Amino acid sequence: MHSRTPGITFHGALSGWFHLGSVDPAGGESQGRAGRTRLTLGITVTIPDARTFMSVREQPGTLDATISFPPLGRELHSKRGAFNLLSPTGAQLCRIATLECAFDARGTSYYLSGRAEVPAKADHDVFRDSTAIPIVLHEGTDERDAVVGAGVLTLTADELAALVSSIRVTDAESMGDTSLTLTSFGHHLLGDLWDAYAHPPGAFARGWRMLTRGARRLIGRR
């Protein structure tokens, strides 16, 4: 009989200024703000094996996405996608968060990709740095195709709180396994934020309380 491997699932929404025609995220954010064009990305991440995800760099989770961007359409569903969070190696000071998804809009194939450097240590800008993801849009099926749009997606404090509170452990064999997996993944996902904001004022504190209440309920059901 094979033992079960704990997994993770969570969901959230990111949005930000985005410009169709820009080729770099900073410029796309600026032009998107000027033109009042925003892109919203709803995501659900599924990680079947949390331990492997956290230890093997080439083992991303799957990402299901819904893209809303009026120039292309609303409620566009991804055909495939991936999410990864790479721990620092060697002298690196940042973790690398990546997301990508392929979708169709008005008869054309597109590929959205984002890559953010997340500080491994908290500082005064850690909230902004940890929740902003520069993205580019390719016309085609992967990131080798031409870039046709760019911008920056962000999570507000409340949106991050909602994402954190949505984290669930799947297929754990015991309450201890659930707790250990949740804590380990929390540190992997948020780094110093997991500890540094454990008892803060404001929106993140609300998110932390929501997370811990959810964890207790989840553990209590096992």
Indicate the residue type of 67.
Answer: I
Question: pTM of this prediction?
Answer: 0.81
Contact in structure between 6 and 178 (CB atoms under 8 Å): yes
Residue 200 has pLDDT above 90, yes or no: no
Per-residue pLDDT tens for 46-101? 999 999 998 887 789 999 999 999 999 999 999 999 999 876 666 666 778 899 99
| 141-182: pLDDT as tens digits | 999 999 999 999 998 877 877 888 899 999 988 888 888 898
Domain boundaries, the chain: 7-154, 159-220
Q: What are phi and psi of 61, to 5 degrees?
A: -85, 165
- Check if the beta carbon of residue 72 is closer than 8 Å to that of residue 106: yes
Least confident span in 18-27, 109-118, 139-148: 109-118
Q: Which residues of 74-113 are buried (b: 16+ CB within 10 A; e: fewer)?
A: eebebeebebbbeeeeeeeebbbbbbbbbbeeeeeebbbb
Q: What is the DSSP letter of 62?
A: E
